[in-house]
Structure 1
Amino acid sequence: MLSSVLNHALVFENSTPDEVSDHVNQHVGRHRLELFGPQVARAHLALCDFSELALSRIAYGNQVRVSCPDLEDIYHFQIVMRGNCHWRFSDTEMVLNPGQALMMNPGEKIDLTYSADCEKLIVKIPEKIIRHTCVEFIGSVPKSGVLFERKAVDLRQSRAFLSCVESVFYEASEESELNFAGLSETHREFLVRKLLNTFQSNLTDVSHPKATQEERLMKRVLDHIEANIRENLTVEELAMVAGTSVRRLYSLFANRLATTPKLLIKQRRLAAIHRELKNNPAIRNVTEAALEYSFTHLGRFSSDYKKAYGELPSETLKRRA
């Protein structure tokens, strides 16, 4: 799950926990590292900034305990990819396993123990972005600010959410052909709205419109794409779903997503095939996967896939084996 994201942004690979910790202290945020047992050089760290979000992939390669005073004005969205991570709060404890995720609130103290094989993806979200999204789509923010419950969510049960997370990390890649002004903010906004809808908080309903007619129209189109990603979708079909003209649909995609319907569909399909090749044992060859997602020009598909993920689809499949 999301195992190859941020490969373009590796800072350390096969390093010691102390080297990774020193870099995090200097460039990310202050914390204290406690090491259990002899130090082994298996740690890695990848960092990338994307539209005011700080994205990271981290593994210490050793059993360690990480603590810091508080998160100040930052939310942390953390996904355990391998191993397990033990969270300690003042009033409770929990252990997260692969595929599980947690939202941490500003002001909360961090006290975590990583297993030796633990790897996590972390997205740091400034409080102002969460507040802005609430105001934009609900019209108000609770007086206490948005507070997420201390409840883990198993993201393996939500392919649509994983698709959203993967698209954000994909967009942050230097290889992304879609990485231009405007689209990054749209992906950030989409991720934050998904987080607000997925993780329980003191908000009652973030999908409450205040949404404009155009926003509701775009939601219908994007939901239709997600639900029918394997089909040979056409722009005419999307326009029919939206109840608008093809010309207006292109205009909406350009103004709101800074892309075209066809390009967005291709990006979502590539992300879906990437997951299938890595995780689905029923997929036996690349041609089968490509045809399953309506890619009929296999040479062009392989070229687009390599641009997105830095390797041929056959190489992704071989790694799974």
Structure 2
Amino acid sequence: MLSENSQIFSNADPYSVSDYVNQYIGTHEINLPRKRAAEASLSHRSFGSLDLCRISYGSNVSVTSSGLNTCYHLQVLLKGHCLWRGHGNEHYFAPGELLLINPDDPADLTYSNDCEKFIVKLPVTALERVCSDNHWNKPIEGIRFSPRHSLQQLNGFSSLLNLVCDESERVHAPSRLREYFTGIIATKLLELLDNNIECEPFEESGSPFERVVQFIEENLKKNISLDQMAAVARMSPRSLYNLFEKRANTTPMNYIRRLKLERIHTYLSDPESKIRSITEVALDYGFLHLGRFAENYRNAFGELPSDTLRQHANLNYRR
């Protein structure tokens, strides 16, 4: 996680490293024994809205913070141990364990001499964006995680962090790619770690595409908006477009229009249907521009609505 290309300090004074952390990673204070070795090290990269940091103070050190304000700190213990105190509890973190510090949580940590951590600084806005895109309700008090976790809860997360670190060290990593990885990390944390967000599994109510199709069919005569469909699918409008291109080879609104035309064609072709006028049927399905409706109908079925209705009338006459 982060190569020598990202190293800022090596065998440095711990207070020099702390000053850098205060400037770029998060406000804190450190307290060390009077006699200390200059063995602190730090590697750091900014990657989109993420900050990635690998840090070791090389000494027993106490780290305290009153709060992180606008960001979350995900700390992965790589070596040694770290004593955490919070919410009236304490826990010795061992390698492979995760500490997730909420923005308004005070921090009280004690590092061992050989303690080394990898820290991901993630802005509040990144997690809120994921909630918005998936239409998950964000609590009034904000998104909050429980502090203690394990890498085993995040299958493949170590590989993801290594990939993000590699990409962060590229000279010209596209900004779109940087934010893409930020979204993946935020989504994994929200879906897999204990928090106060209710993420309803898609499996309980069908796939997103199936839910939207069912919603369309049940409301076909109504004016269905893109935002309504996105809410049903629990994804952003852009993601909904991509979903329909993949599953139906068309856009959501074109899918609705095609389905309406098919329903009208079936209705006009049914000898049992009692049709007073084509205009009435078209208006019933939301086609307000009758000339455009007739053109769309002919493009879809190779004939005008009046032709379909005439065949229907001929069938009734023969009967």
| Cα deviation, residue 39, structure 1 | 0.7
Task: Report the CA distance shift for 1:206/1:217 in structure 2 as closer, same or farther (over 3 A).
Answer: farther
Map of 1:14-33 to 2, 5 A cutoff? 14-33=11-30
Q: Deviations over 1:14-68 (max 9, x none)?
A: 1121221122234443321111362112210111111111111100010100112
- Partner secondary structure for residue 146 of structure 1: coil
| Cα deviation, residue 218, structure 1 | 8.8
Structure 1 segments of 4 or more deviating over 6 A? Answer: 216-219, 242-245
What is the aligned partner in structure 2 of residue 60 from structure 1? 57
Provide the C-alpha distance between the structure 2 equivalents of 1:106 and 1:40, rounded to a whole number of angstroms: 32
What is the aligned partner in structure 1 of residue 193 from structure 2? 199
What is the aligned partner in structure 2 of residue 109 from structure 1? 106
Q: Which runs of 5+ in 2 are unaligned?
A: 203-232, 250-319
- Partner secondary structure for residue 204 of structure 1: coil
- Partner secondary structure for residue 183 of structure 2: helix
Provide the C-alpha distance between the structure 1 equivalents of 2:26 and 2:107, rounded to a whole number of angstroms: 12
Task: Report the CA distance shift for 1:145/1:30 in structure 2 as closer, same or farther (over 3 A).
Answer: closer
Task: Report the CA distance shift for 1:9/1:143 in structure 2 as closer, same or farther (over 3 A).
Answer: same
Query: Does 2:194 correspond to 1:170?
Result: no
When the two chains are superposed, the root-mean-square deviation of aligned CA atoms in Å is: 2.7
What is the aligned partner in structure 2 of residue 82 from structure 1? 79
Task: Report the CA distance shift for 1:194/1:14 in structure 2 as closer, same or farther (over 3 A).
Answer: same
What is the aligned partner in structure 2 of residue 211 from structure 1? 235
Verify the 8 A CA contact 1:77 1:104 in the aligned structure 2.
yes
Provide the C-alpha distance between the structure 1 equivalents of 2:198 and 2:69, rounded to a whole number of angstroms: 24
Query: Does 2:154 correspond to 1:190?
Result: no
| Cα deviation, residue 69, structure 1 | 1.4
| Cα deviation, residue 85, structure 1 | 1.0
- Partner secondary structure for residue 156 of structure 2: helix
Query: Does 2:97 correspond to 1:100?
Result: yes
Provide the C-alpha distance between the structure 2 equivalents of 1:206 and 1:168, rounded to a whole number of angstroms: 28
| Cα deviation, residue 204, structure 1 | 2.1
Map of 1:290-305 to 2, 5 A cutoff? none
Q: Which runs of 5+ in 1 are unaligned?
A: 220-241, 246-321
What is the aligned partner in structure 1 of residue 270 from structure 2? none
Q: Highest CA radius of gyration, 1 or 2? A: 2
How does the TM-score come out when normalised to structure 2? 0.61
Map of 1:135-284 to 2, 5 A cutoff? 135-150=132-147, 152-156=148-152, 158-174=154-170, 179-205=173-199, 209-211=233-235
Task: Report the CA distance shift for 1:70/1:157 in structure 2 as closer, same or farther (over 3 A).
Answer: closer
- Partner secondary structure for residue 20 of structure 1: helix
Query: How many residues are paired up?
Result: 217
Q: What amino acid is the match of 1:51? A: G
Provide the C-alpha distance between the structure 2 equivalents of 1:140 and 1:8, rounded to a whole number of angstroms: 41
